[in-house]
């Protein structure tokens, strides 16, 4: 596979932005660390000059990106069952099983979705995500289920990344919240950043990145509420953080709702198996055909069983 290059012009000066952060938003499938390495190695240049990751983007500058040929994947293929909603030469759309990590990381080198995809696709995955994340355009948390699209070639990866970065992808989730949400519908616009003291958590904090979630109530279930939430931005843990910010964290979410969940268990006698969050719908423009496509993932058994159990508790 040969290297692939692209260029674009920065349209607006960003005096408070760094080049690596700017490019991370443009290419959300590529980690910030990988972007920094590409800049430092001269694969990303500005006006044909090498720059630092801290370079401030200025209007009119020409950015050139040369994606190096991917190295052989470190992750090993593993025969792990996949729930495939759709597949063709360009993409695979999955209904992700809860409990599976998307890509290898420290402590999770095997048994991930990437290991399963390497076996299923037999080498037909994009290389832009690097050796650890081949084909991965976006991700879901380990304990979140539902729709996930994977790129099988670099061209598909670039087009999908542009859609995710440009907020052109429709992402709708079903979520179970602790408590009875009073409003039938609403909008949450609370900026999100890394938690100031707990580095593994995110938080709604002043000065964070713009974050926007809208929601509507589907069903009241006594001490819980079933909602449908749409992500208009794609921040880490966005739905979990936003509903905690409202005071109605997700059922089963011990990271963002430990106290609420303890009260929920005490009042209902029910313990959820995980955070009750499911990526229901994913809609985008197919990177190969150019047609608009929509995919819907049915609830997994544990989500359906939890809703059923809460309905039964409500009608006692």
Q: What residues are labeled active site?
A: 141
Residue 46, SS3 per DSSP: strand
Query: What are the DSSP calls for 187-236, one per residue?
Result: EEE--EEE-SS-TT-EEE-TTSB--EEEEEEEEE-SSEEEEEEEESS--T
Query: What are the DSSP calls for 112-155, one per residue?
Result: SHHHHHHHHHTT-S-STT-SSSTTBSS---TT-EEEEEEESSHH
| Residues whose CB is less than 8 angstroms from the CB of residue 138 and which lie 6 or more positions away in sequence, other chains included | 28, 29, 148, 149, 164, 234
SS3 labels along 159-197: HHHHHHHCCCCEEEEEEEEECCCCCCEEEEECCEEECCC
């Amino acid at each position: 596979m040969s290297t692939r290059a692209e260029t674009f012009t920065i349209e607006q000066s960003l005096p408070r932005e760094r080049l690596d952060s700017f490019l991370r938003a443009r290419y959300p499938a590529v980690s910030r660390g990988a972007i920094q390495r590409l800049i430092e190695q001269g694969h990303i240049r500005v006006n044909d000059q090498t720059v630092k990751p801290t370079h401030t983007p200025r209007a009119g500058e020409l950015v050139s990106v040369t994606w190096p040929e991917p190295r052989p994947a470190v992750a090993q293929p593993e025969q792990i069952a996949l729930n495939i909603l759709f597949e063709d030469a360009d993409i695979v759309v999955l209904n992700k099983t809860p409990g599976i990590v998307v890509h290898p990381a420290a402590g999770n080198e095997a048994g991930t979705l990437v290991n399963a995809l390497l076996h299923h696709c037999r080498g037909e995955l994009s290389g832009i995500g690097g050796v650890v994340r081949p084909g991965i355009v976006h991700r879901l948390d380990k304990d979140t289920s539902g729709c996930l699209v994977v790129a099988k070639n670099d061209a598909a990866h670039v087009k999908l990344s542009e859609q995710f970065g440009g907020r052109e992808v429709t992402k709708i989730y079903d979520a179970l919240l602790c408590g009875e949400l009073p409003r039938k519908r609403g909008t949450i616009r609370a900026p999100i950043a890394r938690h100031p003291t707990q580095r593994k958590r995110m938080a709604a904090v002043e000065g964070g990145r713009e974050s926007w979630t809208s929601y509507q109530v589907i069903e009241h279930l006594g001490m819980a509420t079933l909602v449908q939430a749409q992500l208009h931005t794609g921040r880490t843990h966005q739905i979990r953080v936003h509903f905690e910010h409202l005071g109605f964290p997700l059922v089963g979410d011990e990271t963002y709702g430990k106290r609420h969940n303890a009260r929920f268990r005490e009042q209902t006698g029910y313990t959820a198996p995980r955070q009750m969050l499911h990526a229901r719908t994913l809609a985008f423009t197919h990177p190969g055909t150019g047609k608009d496509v929509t995919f819907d993932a049915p609830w997994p058994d544990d989500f359906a069983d939890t809703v059923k159990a809460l309905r039964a508790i409500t009608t006692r």
